[in-house]
Amino acid sequence: GVANLDSNRQEAFVSFQKAIKENPEHRDAQYYVGHIYAMQGKYQLAEEQFRTVLRISPEYSEASAYLGQVLAQQDRWQEAVRAYRRALNNPLYATPDVAWFNLGRALAHEGDMNGAAQAFEDALLVSPPNVPSGMVHLELGRAYYRLGYDVKAREMLSRVVELDKDGPSAAEAEKLLERLKH
């Protein structure tokens, strides 16, 4: 199943479905079916899969974080915030910066810029990072900008320009830096 995930999604899907039929408690097969649904934009079905995974394995932070992403895609931001926080409750979670980053974006969407800035700051503490540093610095710079912390915003946005030379994050950062000049 997993070997075919990128090259032949349909074959992988069938393989995972077979594994689930043999063992409905097969956590990873359930998770990857949710992943396939999410990749297809079938967020309601993906949500159901990730909720099934979490019934099987409540501590599976990757499923909580992915649930947060599919909830955000459905414009259910408060539920997404809860899912990201649930993922972060597990001290053994291997990629917490992903959840911190997405939590920050959800909180920013909901207007909690202080919470968003804190989440982005926490994402930057994770080493090695799983989210490109330029993206995290950009979102943190945006949060500082919206909070009126111009000096901190300039510092973060200048860092993005260094980290993401000629990339999309650098272009966004340069636009915000231009606004900060006026």
Residue ranges of domains in the chain = 1-93, 95-182
Q: Averaged over 95-109, what is the pLDDT?
A: 98
| Band of pLDDT at residue 24, cut at 50, 70 and 90 | confident
Average pLDDT, the chain: 93
| Band of pLDDT at residue 5, cut at 50, 70 and 90 | low
Return the pLDDT at 2.
52
Q: How far apart are CA 151 and CA 157, in angstroms?
A: 10
Going by CATH, does the domain composed of 1-93 fall within 1.25.40.10? yes
Q: Residue 27 burial (CB < 10 Å; 0-12/13-18/19+)?
A: middle
Number of helices and strands (H, E) in the chain?
10, 0
Q: How far apart are CA 158 and CA 165, in angstroms?
A: 11
Classify residue 164 by its DSSP letter: T
User: Which CATH number does 95-182 carry?
Assistant: 1.25.40.10
Tens-place pLDDT, residues 143-152: 999 999 999 9
Judge whether residue 6 has pLDDT over 80: no
Judge whether residue 17 has pLDDT over 90: no
Judge whether residue 91 has pLDDT over 80: yes
Q: At what angle do helices 27-39 and 61-73 cross, to 10 degrees?
A: 20
| Contact of 101 with 142, CB cutoff 8 Å | no
Judge whether residue 3 has pLDDT over 60: no
**Within 10 Å of residue 17's Cβ, how many Cβ atoms?**
14
Alpha helices in 2-149 (DSSP H): 9-22, 27-39, 43-56, 61-73, 77-88, 96-109, 113-124, 133-147
Return the pLDDT at 7.
58
Tens-place pLDDT, residues 122-131: 999 999 999 9
Residue found under tokens 């974006």? 105
Return the pLDDT at 13.
84
- pTM of the prediction? 0.90
